[in-house]
Amino acid sequence: MSSSLNAPLPQRRILITGAARGLGECFARACVAAGARVVLSDVLHERGRALAEALNAGRETPVAHYLGLDLADPDSIQAAVAAAGQWLGGLDGLVNNGAITNSGGKDMGDIPLETWDRVMQVNVRGTWLCTVAAQPLLQASGRGRVVNIASDTALWGAPRLMAYVASKGAVMAMTRSMARELGPQGITVNAVAPGLTLVEATEYVPEARHRLYAEGRAIERPQLPDDVVAAVLFLLSEGSAYVTGQVLPVNGGFVMN
């Protein structure tokens, strides 16, 4: 992780969903490097606990803690957010990163109903319920930040990925409504819409889709996790205090607003 990405987050208390691997892990590592204390949540318990241990290694005072959180289970969400606030002593930031894909490579008519419902439960309802659960803690902090991780697939209309694309389009729409509702409480809500990023979760993506992005970007290099991390750190920082309700595509110019 480049030190140039470490926007200052001194003593910020941040909850990150889907933090055990991929971009979530990168967000967690960057937040700690920037001075924050973090709670990592996921359903990948062994990996999440191992990451927290790695982030705490060599420190007298722990800066990371792992909590299991199932975004498809409202009770799990409520319990985990409450426990995160207790461990951190409050909450300044929430990164709604946890999500599933599950519909990749299928025509829209071939997606089973249970797959569609599962994607919506996790990606849309989970994001909504996490934010609702965190709202009192974020308001109490006086500097609350919510960063929703969307996807540029919903901006350009990626085919054969319908459930995921629809869910991320919903996350963008919710971001704007959340910003209006939570703004009076001093909470900003923004979304980052990454392009195809080289992480573990995108290893399954067909080569043709990788070529499409490579040929369509204005910046002619692969997208790396640091590209997305930098945007998320900014939206969690004091520097973004007057930015809310925005969707920031981070994709090297593959999609331009």
Which residues does the annotation mark as catalytic? Answer: 164
DSSP class of residue 3 equals G
**Could you tell me the two tokens for 86?**
């207790």
Strand partners, 192: 149, 248
Name the strands in the sheet holding 13-17, side by side, starting at the edge strand that comes first in the sequence.
64-68, 37-42, 13-17, 93-96, 145-149, 188-194, 247-250
User: 71: closest CA among 149, 161, 143?
Assistant: 149
> 191: part of which helix (H) or strand (E)?
strand 188-194
DSSP secondary structure string for all residues of 206-237: -HHHHHHHHHH-SS-S-B-HHHHHHHHHHHHS
Q: How many CB atoms lie within 10 A of CB 254?
A: 21
Residues with Cβ within 8 Å of residue 9, at least 6 apart in sequence:
31, 34, 35, 36, 93, 233, 236, 237
Q: How many CB atoms lie within 10 A of CB 218?
A: 9
**Could you tell me the two tokens for 61?**
């005072």
Distance CA 18, CA 50 (A): 14
